[in-house]
């Protein structure tokens, strides 16, 4: 109830702030001594708080999302229609300080019964339920969230921000593949004072995962999504059982040369896990319109203490466990065309684990709507072609990947019972102009084909392989 009240209050405040920032047109403003003087003198004084509010920026966003999951014959298909909108307001600077607030609401305007289990597998829907509230799939209209509420201090090219906000990092990111992204609460900073060096980081103590409307402590946020099985094959039981004071993130991007960037990240999930990422991205220009692309990525993970809980049946990562991944990318870019070949390997001595509530995989081989988190001994190969029709304002992308996973009954290395698969993605986006400027449309078609042993068990197939997913998304920004 408290989160719902806060979300509604945020939307109301956003509307009031929007009204306060719009200039009066064709209206007589009554003069108020001490506030309104002559021609709004105080509001034009750049040293006043009123000026900071008057010079703030208002943004709006309406979103429509249509999704269909077409499973194999004999398994349940699902569809959903979601629509929503929100406002964001950020003040101008007052001696370097700014305030920001945003909120968003969602309505279910026509969907399958997302509370209904599939009759053959007794499992629930996977994709469409994520457009709403996975904790309460029966809720169709009371879906709102206070997404941002922060104070920010700017110094030259850098800033520090505290409160609820949206960030984008390799480990914790927006993962904006449903109606709303993942949000975090805590302290966040960016430092840009040294040439060729960009440093970001902060301390996160609360998370509001995508497809939820509540805010959770960092430890409690882990387990809001399906948990799979532990290394012995029993259902994981870490939801509500992870003890942690929060997450510390630190990242640096170094422009080593005109053609190479180096990225370093460390995520310390207190009492649970530590993850380190090292990545090099290459963009070597051969001539005016042609560049060679390349990349190398290494990730190392280690359990911290007991992995979140002394009871290993309720922990997130087993005590003493570790994992490592390595990826490589090569490609070419010519004018509006970009083609890449990508490979990633998760070594066989442990599962790569990163809470799905926090973001998508950072791997070069990632394709939207599926992940390789929760697996070990993975070989993934993916080819991708991007082409932009600039004059027509159309962007297209085709990705084809093969993902060799451990057997679905190899519980030590296969957390979610997903067999090896081939995935094909076709993504088309169009930006409108004229009277519809600000509106963009996306069509995403995903096909996943089985390449592993299913043991005649539909639970390894339902919502996982031998299926197609269709998404139509409309966004209007103003």
CATH number at residue 108: 2.40.160.10
Task: Give a yes or no: residue 95 inside a domain.
Answer: yes
Contacts of residue 190, Cβ cutoff 8 Å, sequence gap at least 6: 158, 159, 198, 199, 200
Task: Give a yes or no: residue 37 inside a domain.
Answer: no
Task: Give a yes or no: residue 34 inside a domain.
Answer: no
Minimum mean pLDDT range among 25-34, 51-60, 311-320, 389-398: 25-34
Task: Give a yes or no: residue 39 inside a domain.
Answer: no
CB 444 within 8 A of CB 471: yes
- What per-residue confidence (pLDDT) applies to 153? 98
pLDDT band at 22 (very low <50, low <70, confident <90, very high): very low
Centroid of chain to Cα 324: 22
Question: Residue 21 and residue 173: Cα distance in Å, rounded?
Answer: 31
Question: Residue 216 and residue 355: Cα distance in Å, rounded?
Answer: 13
- What per-residue confidence (pLDDT) applies to 217? 98
Average of per-residue pLDDT across 102-118: 96
- Structurally, the chain folds into a number of domains equal to 1
Question: Residue 312 and residue 319: Cα distance in Å, rounded?
Answer: 8
- The kind and range of the H/E element at 7 are helix 2-21
Question: Residue 43 and residue 92: Cα distance in Å, rounded?
Answer: 12
Task: Give a yes or no: residue 365 inside a domain.
Answer: yes
pLDDT band at 42 (very low <50, low <70, confident <90, very high): low
| pLDDT of 1 higher than 90 | no
Where in the sequence is the domain holding 124, given as residue range(s)?
Answer: 2-24+53-477
Name the average pLDDT for the chain. 92
Question: Residue 285 and residue 258: Cα distance in Å, rounded?
Answer: 9
Average of per-residue pLDDT across 178-193: 97
User: How many Cβ atoms are within 10 Å of 262's Cβ, its own excluded?
Assistant: 15
Task: Give a yes or no: residue 36 inside a domain.
Answer: no
- What per-residue confidence (pLDDT) applies to 326? 98
- What per-residue confidence (pLDDT) applies to 27? 35
Torsion of CA 41, 43, 48, 54, to 10 degrees: -170
Task: Give a yes or no: residue 42 inside a domain.
Answer: no
**What is this structure's pTM?**
0.89
CB 70 within 8 A of CB 103: no
Write out pLDDT tens, residues 261-293. Answer: 999 999 999 999 999 999 999 999 998 899 999
* Cα atoms in the Cβ-side hemisphere of radius 13 Å centred on 286: 10
Average of per-residue pLDDT across 185-191: 98
Question: Residue 322 and residue 343: Cα distance in Å, rounded?
Answer: 21
Beta bridge partners, 261, equal: 255, 281
Write out pLDDT tens, residues 357-406. Answer: 999 999 999 999 999 999 999 999 999 999 999 999 999 999 999 999 99
- The kind and range of the H/E element at 49 are helix 49-54
Tell me the three-class secondary structure of 179-219, residue by residue.
Answer: CCCCEEEEEEEEECCCCCEEEEEEEEEEEECCCCCCCEEHH
Render the burial of 403-413: b for 16+ CB within 10 Å, e for the rest. Answer: bebbebeebbb
Task: Give a yes or no: residue 38 inside a domain.
Answer: no
CB 201 within 8 A of CB 169: no
């Amino acid at each position: 109830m408290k989160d719902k009240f806060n979300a509604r209050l945020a939307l109301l405040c956003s509307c009031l702030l929007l009204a306060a920032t719009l200039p009066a047109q064709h209206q007589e403003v009554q003069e108020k001594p001490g506030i309104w003087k002559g021609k709004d003198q105080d509001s034009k004084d750049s040293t006043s708080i009123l000026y900071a509010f008057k010079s703030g920026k208002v943004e709006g966003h309406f979103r429509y999302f249509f999704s269909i999951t077409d499973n194999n014959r004999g398994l349940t298909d699902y569809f959903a229609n979601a629509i929503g909108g929100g406002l964001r307001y950020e003040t101008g600077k007052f001696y370097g300080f700014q305030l920001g607030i945003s909120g968003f609401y969602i309505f279910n305007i026509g969907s399958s019964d997302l509370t209904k289990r599939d009759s053959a597998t007794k499992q629930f829907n996977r994709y469409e339920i994520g457009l709403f509230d996975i904790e309460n799939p029966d809720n169709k209209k009371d879906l709102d969230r206070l997404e941002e509420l922060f104070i920010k201090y700017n110094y030259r090219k850098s800033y520090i921000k505290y409160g609820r906000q949206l960030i984008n990092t390799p480990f914790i990111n927006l993962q904006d593949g449903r109606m709303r992204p993942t949000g975090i609460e805590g302290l966040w900073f960016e430092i840009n004072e040294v040439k060729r060096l960009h440093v970001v980081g902060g301390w996160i103590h609360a998370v509001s995962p995508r497809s939820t409307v509540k805010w959770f402590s960092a430890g409690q946020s882990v387990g809001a999504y399906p948990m799979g099985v532990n290394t012995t094959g029993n259902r994981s039981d870490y939801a509500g059982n992870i003890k942690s004071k929060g997450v510390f993130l630190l990242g640096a991007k170094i422009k080593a040369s005109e053609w190479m960037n180096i990225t370093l990240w460390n995520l310390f999930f207190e009492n649970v896990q530590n993850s380190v990422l090292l990545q090099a991205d290459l963009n070597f220009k051969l001539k005016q319109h042609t560049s060679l692309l390349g990349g190398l990525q290494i990730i190392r993970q280690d359990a911290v203490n007991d992995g979140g809980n002394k009871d290993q049946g309720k922990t997130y990562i087993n005590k003493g466990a570790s994992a490592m991944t390595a990826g490589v990318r090569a490609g070419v870019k010519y004018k509006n065309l970009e083609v890449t070949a990508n490979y990633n390997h998760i070594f066989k001595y442990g599962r790569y684990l990163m809470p799905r509530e926090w973001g998508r995989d950072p791997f070069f081989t990632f394709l939207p709507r599926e992940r390789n988190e929760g697996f070990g001994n993975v070989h993934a190969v993916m080819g991708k072609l991007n082409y932009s029709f600039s004059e027509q304002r159309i962007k297209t992308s085709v990705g084809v990947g093969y993902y060799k996973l451990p057997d679905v009954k190899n519980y030590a290395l296969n957390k979610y019972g997903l067999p090896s698969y081939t995935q094909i993605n076709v993504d088309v986006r169009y930006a409108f102009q004229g009277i519809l400027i600000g509106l963009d449309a996306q069509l995403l078609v995903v096909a996943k084909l089985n390449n592993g042993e299913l043991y005649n068990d539909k639970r390894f197939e339902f919502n996982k392989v031998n299926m197609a997913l269709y998404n139509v998304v409309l966004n209007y920004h103003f």
